[in-house]
Structure 1
Amino acid sequence: MKQNLFKTLPVAFAALLIGGSVQAQDQAGTNSNQLTSWSIGVNAGVLTPTSPLGGKNDFSNNKSSLGYGLYIKKQFTPYFSLRLDGVRGKLKGDNTEKWKSGLPNVSPVSAFETDLSYSGSLNAVVNLFNIDMFNKNSALQLYASGGAGLAGYKVKTAVGGAGLKDYAGDKTISELIIPVGLGAKVKLSEKINLDLGWTVNFVDGDNLDGFYRGQNDKYSYAYGGLEFALGKGKQLAWHNPVALTYDEALQAKQTANALKGDLDAQKAENARLRSEMNDLLKDTDGDGVADKLDKCPGTPSGTVVDGSGCPLKTPAPVVQEKVIITEADRKVVDEAIRNLEFDLGKATIRSKSYATLNRVAALLVEKNFSLKLAGHTDNTGSMALNLRLSKARAESVKAYLVSQGANASRIEATGYGPNQPIATNKTAAGRQKNRRVEFTLY
């Protein structure tokens, strides 16, 4: 069974490589801020054939020896990774010291030396926490690890005062190990980490020190080393999604504040337009001529005035005659309608419309026609605003015609807002057609 497990380790390593490659391709395709998830580490430290986690020791004097190792790691999330570890070194011990219990030493083996030819294990590593949750790349983290693997070793033992001899000939003993560890990492730079750790390896056997007592052996490895991140981008292990979520919330708040500022600015602009329209339509004396065009403000109520707002010296004669409107007359009006333009969102007539309006005014004076002006808008904006704007534009045309000599009493100006569309308001072209002032001669 141990040989089968040993054979499966390369398969597990290959699966780790393939899975990591697929995930890296997926991250590269979906995340512009790519994070690197592969790393390698080298370390060195102290190997001892004992553990403080329970059990009895086989020798009274367990010595510390040099150990060294390396690993390759794949980080799947900021908190979880798989690590393939390899460790080599020597384990030594003897019975030169008295047992702390005071019992006599009954072991036939006086000393041992184990050459740890290889130790390979696949470990799950869990980052317990980062020190600063509001720092996207913390500088210190603690982790715990656990896994399974194989250890291959050769043992030499000494009996009495004799020298060390092979315990099992030249045969390498292979046994299952269960490593459990704790560690801490310090980020030295964007690609290099200081790695400090301690691992206890539980051996599925009692051959590690050449003395069989019926209980499984164990050994510890305390180490320090460096970890090197591979590839481009920052290390996924130091990536803090909680901090990023916090930053995104701050950014969303800033965006909301900016949108509120735009809304307030638009409200202020609407208030300014309403004020301008109210000023344009204001008729204090009620004579039908706006204050801005009234040259004789304060005329008594009921006084007949001319186009400039001044009282007529003689009442205009009432002429009862048949009104005949020719095609030429209609052509003058139609041309004025086509050329009529206002400033955006205002009732101010653009100067390019004056020439055709002048011809309409001359026509009204010459033939004493009556004219109905009907202002219309699209459905953009509020109903109240559109009604005021349509009325203001019709009144503006009336005021201009009166300023050119037309009789104010023969011109009627009405605003209908968006209530009488001639095209759909769902398209820009339709809304353009609906924004109009209609002229009706009679």
Structure 2
Amino acid sequence: MKTLLKKASLLMTGLLVGGKLFAQTPDSLNTKNYVQPFSGGGSFRTWTIGVHGGLLTPYTIFGTNGRQDYRNPKSEIGYGAYIQKQFLPGFALQADFLRGQISGENGQAVGAIAAGSSYTTKLDWSAALKANFTLANINWYNHKGAIQPYISAGAGYAGYKVTTQDASGNTLASSNGTSKEWFIPVGLGFKFNLGSGVNLDLGYQVNFVQTDNFDGLNVGGNDRFSYAHIGLEFALGSTKKPQLATYNPVNSMRTEYLWKNQQLQAQVDAEKAANAQLRSDLDATNANVAKLTIDSDGDGVIDLNDKCPNTPAGTKVDGSGCPLAKPVVVVTEEDRRVVRDAISNLEFDLGKATIREKSFASLDRVARLLVDKNFSLKLAGHTDNTGSKDLNMRLSKDRAEAIKTYLVEKGANASRIEATGYGQLQPIASNKTAAGRQQNRRVEFTLY
């Protein structure tokens, strides 16, 4: 048992080390046969067919010849074919066919077996379904390996005929018809990538027959035979797609990451260059604009158009920068009546700053008054205490601004109209009654 475990350990070590030694040179951005991570099965070639030939012998790596019925194994020719479906980079199912013959003899008598006796088992056919596990084809740094170690196991059914002979070549026994029996194939091997869709297959398989009459004798435990072969495997499908068995999904994820990183870096560099150019253009534009926007005396008229430079601070000027003559403003009783009429007819939509059409005629008269006499007007919006203070403050301000906007649209000078909102801060009646709240919801007009 210890010897068997030692042999198995050496074989596994050889598989893993071999896969690493034959790996291709790392190439982080190798795009040949590249497939984006998490792509579906349609992106790969998953079906392969293969043909192989080799040697069949009753000798196996498990156990010694001393435990065989015939102690001198012979090597005979075997051949076969298979079709394989790859489900994952490391897992496939393979339907296998094999035929040939197995033979052995005894140089000296062993128990009931005479010296020089021999047997030949003609394997007419065998069919097996195996699970293949590919090893050492997943790593970060290699796009794919040049060699894929694999192990396999499954179950099969075989038809065979056995003939036994004595030392003189006389037939002692021969099968009457074809015997049929189950067997368990266990194998390992290497597949070398010869091209994008062609692999060289070197393998070794031990077949555990579920009977002891495979060699014509039933004197001990179940028989077994091995098959060492060489063959060619061909991938089916488009040559533009990689084989799933040789595909390295981990390295594709690394390649995708490096691509995205390079693309992002290129984008960042391009944006930096564009931003630098924009900053340069903006600085030049600002320098040119600054020359056209200098207002040394702060009267609102740029030096380029200012006919009265160095105007004292706070002085109102005309379009040429010269002080305006202060007009004498006289507000008559008729003017006040026009304003009172506008206030009495003023209505808004509920909770909004939208002026109702009923108010337009009286507001039009106020607008003509402002235009004709160049009056200034202060608009003060007020509300009752219904709702929050912030909402009322905003509503009163919006309503005063709405009236200002209307008057300006009718020709009034916007600079002579001041719109202010006081919210619920300045009631003129009690907010405890409906009538009082109605009085508090108002906009006051002050002419001057």
Taking structure 2 as the reference length, the TM-score comes to 0.57
Quickly say closer, same or farther: Cα 1:248–1:110, change in 2 above 3 A.
same
Moved more, 134-143 or 61-70: 134-143
**2:328 counterpart letter in structure 1:** V
Distance (whole Å) between structure 1 residues aligned to residue 126 and residue 170 of structure 2: 27
Q: 1:45 aligns with which of 49, 54, 76?
A: 54
Distance (whole Å) between structure 2 residues aligned to residue 295 and residue 111 of structure 1: 130
Partner of 1:239: 247
Distance (whole Å) between structure 2 residues aligned to residue 64 and residue 80 of structure 1: 31
Q: 2:81 aligns with which of 49, 52, 70?
A: 70
Q: Quick check: 1:226 aligned with 2:237?
A: no
Quickly say closer, same or farther: Cα 1:125–1:263, change in 2 above 3 A.
same
Spell out the pairing of 1:318-329 with structure 2 (5 A cutoff): 318-320=327-329
Distance (whole Å) between structure 2 residues aligned to residue 48 and residue 214 of structure 1: 18
Distance (whole Å) between structure 2 residues aligned to residue 44 and residue 235 of structure 1: 23
Question: What's the offset of the Cα at 1:89?
Answer: 0.8
Question: What's the offset of the Cα at 1:366?
Answer: 9.7
| Structure 1 residues without counterparts, runs of 5 or longer | 1-29, 99-103, 325-363, 373-406, 415-441
Partner of 1:149: 156
Partner of 2:362: none
Distance (whole Å) between structure 2 residues aligned to residue 183 and residue 200 of structure 1: 12
Question: What's the offset of the Cα at 1:136?
Answer: 4.4
Task: Report how many residues are paired.
Answer: 306
Partner of 2:197: 191
Distance (whole Å) between structure 2 residues aligned to residue 158 and residue 49 of structure 1: 17
Quickly say closer, same or farther: Cα 1:319–1:34, change in 2 above 3 A.
same
Spell out the pairing of 1:272-351 with structure 2 (5 A cutoff): 272=282, 283-290=295-302, 299-302=311-314, 305-308=317-320, 310-312=321-323, 316-320=325-329
Q: Secondary structure at the match of 1:130?
A: coil
Question: What's the offset of the Cα at 1:121?
Answer: 0.9
* Contact 2:99 2:124 survives alignment (8 Å): yes
* Contact 2:139 2:251 survives alignment (8 Å): no
Q: Quick check: 1:204 aligned with 2:210?
A: yes
Taking structure 1 as the reference length, the TM-score comes to 0.58
Q: Secondary structure at the match of 1:129?
A: coil
**1:148 counterpart letter in structure 2:** A
Distance (whole Å) between structure 1 residues aligned to residue 220 and residue 180 of structure 2: 18
Q: Secondary structure at the match of 1:212?
A: coil
Partner of 2:70: 59
Quickly say closer, same or farther: Cα 1:241–1:297, change in 2 above 3 A.
farther
Question: What's the offset of the Cα at 1:266?
Answer: 7.7
Question: What's the offset of the Cα at 1:230?
Answer: 1.5
Distance (whole Å) between structure 1 residues aligned to residue 210 and residue 127 of structure 2: 14
Partner of 2:119: 112
Distance (whole Å) between structure 1 residues aligned to residue 265 and residue 110 of structure 2: 80
Distance (whole Å) between structure 2 residues aligned to residue 186 and residue 371 of structure 1: 95
Question: What's the offset of the Cα at 1:158?
Answer: 1.1
Question: What's the offset of the Cα at 1:367?
Answer: 7.6
For 1:149-194, what per-residue CA distance to the aligned partner results, in whole angstroms no more than 9, with x for missing partners?
A: 11221111112323345432x3212121111111111222222111
Q: Secondary structure at the match of 1:245?
A: helix
Partner of 2:90: 79
* Contact 1:131 1:140 survives alignment (8 Å): no
Q: Secondary structure at the match of 2:88?
A: coil
* Contact 1:204 1:216 survives alignment (8 Å): yes
Question: What's the offset of the Cα at 1:76?
Answer: 0.9
For 1:410-441, what per-residue CA distance to the aligned partner results, in whole angstroms no more than 9, with x for missing partners?
A: 69999xxxxxxxxxxxxxxxxxxxxxxxxxxx
Distance (whole Å) between structure 2 residues aligned to residue 305 and residue 413 of structure 1: 22
Distance (whole Å) between structure 1 residues aligned to residue 296 and residue 267 of structure 2: 40
Quickly say closer, same or farther: Cα 1:185–1:412, change in 2 above 3 A.
farther
For 1:333-361, what per-residue CA distance to the aligned partner results, in whole angstroms no more than 9, with x for missing partners?
A: xxxxxxxxxxxxxxxxxxxxxxxxxxxxx
Moved more, 296-305 or 108-117: 296-305
Distance (whole Å) between structure 2 residues aligned to residue 255 and residue 371 of structure 1: 62
**2:229 counterpart letter in structure 1:** Y
**1:199 counterpart letter in structure 2:** Q
Quickly say closer, same or farther: Cα 1:149–1:365, change in 2 above 3 A.
same
Q: Secondary structure at the match of 2:119?
A: strand
* Contact 2:138 2:251 survives alignment (8 Å): no
Distance (whole Å) between structure 1 residues aligned to residue 305 and residue 206 of structure 2: 98
RMSD over equivalenced CA pairs, Å = 4.4
Quickly say closer, same or farther: Cα 1:82–1:409, change in 2 above 3 A.
closer
Distance (whole Å) between structure 1 residues aligned to residue 304 and residue 79 of structure 2: 96
Quickly say closer, same or farther: Cα 1:370–1:198, change in 2 above 3 A.
farther
Q: Quick check: 1:216 aligned with 2:218?
A: no
* Contact 1:85 1:120 survives alignment (8 Å): yes
* Contact 1:136 1:238 survives alignment (8 Å): no
Distance (whole Å) between structure 2 residues aligned to residue 186 and residue 151 of structure 1: 29
